[in-house]
């Protein structure tokens, strides 16, 4: 089954404790992206990757890092999480930038 | 800045009726548009897309209309069913003069279907 898998689905942690949210897709997609979804603000792009070893900032990249060492994986790293990063995060992948994106089921992060 | 918006934040329809969800976009150069459905606790699910060289595209029970003159996009759902209850939002590719722009998402319209 074609899918985008995120882990963990839920996480409660404390300020400053580094965390990584993993994302994996099995569709051989070149384009991958991370979004955060906040009430009243909709989906906002954090980072995206056009291909292996090619990443770029989206609209709200501050406080986040990503890497794309393999085509299928695109982890999101919060080196020093802060409460304003409490949000619902989605990973997505697609054939290219201007193609329908397939989304994971989300990771709800709470930073205390 | 560029934005994608929705005319109505909520829409309530009777089961079996047709639903129309609207979206306004601001960038006349946008060349690609997508509609997504998001159910509670799930990620957005692709419904249908349309490129700017078209003004209408049909899928199964859904139709997307694009009016470039007034920069308006709509999603029509025929014979709306309870399973259609969700938040729907549109996205546009702003196509900033060939630079690597990315999809901009609207904030969503919540569709409620009454049995």
Identify the pLDDT of residue B4. 47
Give chain B's contact residues with A (Cβ, < 8 Å).
Answer: 31-32, 34, 36, 41-46, 49, 89, 91, 93, 100, 102-103, 105-108
Identify the pLDDT of residue B37. 96
Query: pLDDT tens for residues A56-77?
Result: 999 999 999 999 999 999 999 9
Residue from A21, A56, A101, A104 whose CB has the most chain B CBs within 10 Å, to mutate: A101
Is the Cβ–Cβ distance between A35 and A89 less than 8 Å? yes
Q: Which two tokens stand for residue B108?
A: 């969503």
Identify the pLDDT of residue B101. 59
Please state, rounded to an integer, the average pLDDT across all residues of chain B.
87
More confident residue, B99 or B94: B94
Three-class DSSP labels, A22-66: EEEECCCCCEEEEEEEECCCEEEEEEEEEECCEEEECCCCCCCEE
pLDDT at A95 over 60: yes
Residue B7: pLDDT band by 50, 70, 90 thresholds? Answer: very low
Residue B36's SS3 state is strand
The domains of chain B, with CATH numbers, are: 10-114 (2.60.40.10)
Gap from A50 CA to chain B (nearest CA, Å): 10
Does the distance separating the beta carbons of A48 and B102 come in below 8 Å? yes
Identify the pLDDT of residue B100. 52
- Section A24-46 average pLDDT: 93
Does the distance separating the beta carbons of B46 and A100 come in below 8 Å? yes
């Amino acid at each position: 089954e074609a899918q985008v898998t995120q882990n963990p689905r839920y996480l409660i942690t404390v300020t400053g404790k580094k965390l990584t949210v993993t994302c994996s897709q099995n569709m051989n997609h070149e384009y991958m992206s991370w979004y955060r979804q906040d009430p009243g603000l909709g989906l906002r792009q954090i980072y995206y990757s056009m291909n292996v070893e090619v990443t770029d900032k989206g609209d709200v990249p501050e406080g986040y890092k990503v890497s794309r060492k393999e085509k299928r994986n695109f982890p999101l790293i919060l080196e020093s999480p802060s409460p304003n990063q409490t949000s619902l995060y989605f990973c997505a992948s697609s054939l290219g930038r201007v193609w329908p994106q397939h989304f994971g089921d989300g990771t709800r992060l709470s930073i205390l | 800045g560029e934005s994608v918006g929705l005319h109505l934040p909520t829409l309530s329809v009777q089961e079996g009726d047709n639903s129309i969800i609207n979206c306004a976009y601001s960038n006349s150069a946008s060349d690609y548009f997508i509609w997504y459905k998001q159910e509670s606790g799930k990620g957005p699910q692709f419904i249908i897309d349309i490129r700017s060289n078209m003004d209408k595209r049909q899928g199964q029970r859904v139709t997307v209309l694009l009016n470039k003159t007034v920069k308006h996009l709509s999603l029509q759902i025929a014979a709306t069913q309870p399973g259609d209850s969700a938040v729907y939002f549109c996205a546009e590719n702003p196509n900033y003069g060939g630079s690597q722009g990315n999809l901009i998402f609207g904030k969503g319209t919540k569709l409620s279907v009454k049995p």
